[in-house]
A and B are shown apart, each in its own frame.
Chain A
Amino acid sequence: MTIAVFFGCSFIAFGPAFALFIFTIARDPLRVIILIAGAFFWLLSLLLSSLVWFIAMKASNDKDQQLQRGLLIFGVMFSVLLQEVFRFAYYKLLRKASDGLAALSEDERSHISVQQMAYVAGLGFGIMSGAFSMINILADSLGPGIVGIHGESQYFFLTSAFMTMAVTLLHTFWGVVFFDGCENRRWWVIAVVVALHLLVSGLTFLNPIYEGSLPPAYVILVSMAVWAFFSCGGSLQNIQQFLTCWKNDAGSEVAS
């Protein structure tokens, strides 16, 4: 509950996303708009799923703890599914807009590729998801208090921050892979993404046994990163060229 905790956790949770925003998105107005619209779509999905959960909760017995926990789990699963539905809806919207823009431009090409839109949309989802999960916790960390005074884990803030970072980056990679699957009509890709999202959320039910939720989430994160890299055209050769071109002077830069 010190300033150090606040800054540390906020940088852990939002550092990568912020860096990605500054270096890849902030300069291009179209990408900023796609990012914010992605955040908006995630927000809509959250709204609808909270509505469903709220109705279910109000209609049930308040005192029954097990039932409430069960309803919460149901709420989480439903929310995950709804998020993926809205991701698909956003894909459709972006496709239509991109086609419109391409039709109007002189050379019939769009100024932004589907992979770029996928990355930006995924990042939008991720940033909003991370922000909603973490901001209240960060605000509380500035105030007085002792973490885990009733016997809970001391590492509440730290684990929340790490989980938030993982979820943000996961959303980005899921976005890339998802859009790629939609583009190439590979429906099994979409099914895998949904399943992985459900898995990651499901693993968090094991909290506060953090060994059950954090390491698997990071393993999934790394594998999703590799998958996303290969799905949008990366290859081992690209990496090699990227690394060796540091030795060349002002040579061919590999734009990924």
Chain B
Amino acid sequence: MAENLANVLHEQLSEGFPDTHRNNSGEGADRRRVVEGADQELNGQPPSARPSQRLESEEDEDEELTLKYGAKHVIMLFVPVTLCMVVVVATIKSVSFYTQKDGQLIYTPFPEDTETVGQRALNSILNAAIMISVIIVMTLLLVVLYKYRCYKVIHGWLIISSLLLLFFFSFIYLGEVFKTYNVGMDYITLALIIWNFGVVGMICIHWKGPLHLQQAYLIMISALMALVFIKYLPEWTAWLILAVISVYDLVAVLCPKGPLRMLVETAQERNEPIFPALIYSSTMVWLVNMADTDAESRKKPALNSTTPESQASLRGADDGGFTTDWELRQQETLGHMESSEETRRQVQEMPRTSPAIQSDDSEERGVKLGLGDFIFYSVLVGKASATASGDWNTTLACFVAILIGLCLTLLLLAIFKKALPALPISITFGLVFYFATDNLVRPFMDQLALHQFYI
């Protein structure tokens, strides 16, 4: 189950632009990162009303705005990624449970404590191969389920996975933390704590909740998942898996027949909401349901709620997003009204009496990053801090490398404006810096510190 969640959370980066399609609702069940290019200018205005002479300066402005917002977006992602890594590293360094060898997962059956180096290498290659095939199979299964609209199955899968993470894994984590700090705790208090934590987490992630709370929960479950991986994956297997999964991410997102790319395209065709349980979003998804059928300005109501949307999309009818109960109530009180294309366009074209709420451009243009990326970044940094002979320099170097990789990925996103994988660049930098720092820089810095030479 945990592994299902893991590969379900394996994400890609993408960006939609308002004039091509609304990715707000856009992407599919799977993991993708969308940079929201919100079209404030199109808010409620029929497309024809836009004056054409402003197009050129708007384009320049858009480009510059993209760059200006680019720095902000990068920081909006730096902070949660940093927090997740800090939590993982702090846990690894203090709670010894996550560095103890207590067996391996069934997905990595070959042991790594063998006599010869060759045998160890072979075992780790086999382990990595098995793990990657499991991930590929799960991804394909998800694509198939999504294509054939088995949303209930996907929802059930996600709910079971988050239940497991929020209750069981956090229970184990809390238990180990108490053991480390020798805190005596009775089961009743513990049950209360875990129950509250888990239930609030389920509500925040799958339904509605304050944005920061939802972000905090997503960071926590990513950290928990990363800790599980760090504990149960032996060393060489872990590095190999990281390397192979970034190659897989690259292939799956960029190749025309890649499963993740197919998923993106299917979701864009259907204009369906993303499952919020798999994506970290840096802003509130402000979506107002004033739909044009050409899906240019399709938005949905407030606070990260996806259930109404998914219900609406399941029904497939163009009811303007109003549920049947609401409509019945309206008809009782106000007489027969209908939300049709006609009426909506008329409403939109009415002059506004109150000044339109100028929602902050920068707030609307949020960034999304898949939880799988959080997990694998944290696995890299956590593994580095666990196995690099107690050296903090390696951890620091990997941390900076991953942040720079993320920065470069977002820069490429701003340039290419299409779905991009977020793992390859960061993981490559991270791996290079891990091995280089551990083998080359560490002896150098140790010698310097010994003699107190400063460079």
Contacts and interface: CB of A to CB of B under 8 A. Distances in A.
A200 B403 contact: no
A207 B451 contact: yes
Given A53-B444, A136-B393, 4 more contacts: A29-B75, A46-B455, A50-B436, A54-B440
B145 interface: no
Interface in A150-185: 156, 159-160, 163-164, 167
A7 to B, nearest CB: 17
Main secondary structure of the interface of B (DSSP, over half): helix
Interface stretch (A101-109, A186-194, A224-232): A101-109
Interface in A20-70: 29-30, 32-33, 36-37, 39-40, 43, 46-47, 49-51, 53-54, 57, 69
A30 B73 CA distance: 10
Given A29-B72, A132-B393, A136-B392, A201 B454 contact: yes
A80 interface: yes
A152 to B, nearest CB: 10
Interface string A128-155: 1101110111010000000000000000
A105 B447 contact: no
B275 interface: no
Interface string B439-455: 11101111111011111
Interface stretch (A71-79, A85-93, A233-241): A71-79
Please classify how large the interface on chain B is, using the bins under 10, 10 to 19, 20 to 34, 35 or more: 35 or more
B396 A131 contact: yes
Contacts of A156: 452
A139 B451 contact: no
A204 interface: yes
Given A37-B404, A72-B447, A207 B453 contact: yes
Interface in B32-82: 60-61, 63-64, 67-68, 71-72, 74-75, 78
B401 interface: yes
A111 B403 CA distance: 23
Contacts of A73: 453
Contacts of A106: 60-61, 64
Contact of B452 (A39, A131, A207): A207
A43 B400 contact: yes
A46 B397 CA distance: 11
B445 A40 contact: no
A36 B440 contact: no
Which of B67, B400, B451, B453 counts the most chain A CB atoms within 10 A?
B453
A205 interface: yes
B196 to A, nearest CB: 33
Contact of B454 (A40, A47, A69, A133): A133
B433 A43 contact: yes
Contact of A36 (B60, B404, B441, B448): B404
B185 to A, nearest CB: 25
A33 B455 contact: no
A195 to B, nearest CB: 15
B392 A135 contact: yes
A252 to B, nearest CB: 29
Nearest to A47: B436
B322 to A, nearest CB: 39
8 contacts: A36-B78, A36-B404, A36-B407, A40-B401, A101-B67, A136-B392, A136-B446, A139-B392
Nearest to B72: A29
Contacts of B451: 69, 72, 205, 207
A76 B448 contact: yes
A136 B445 contact: yes
A208 interface: yes
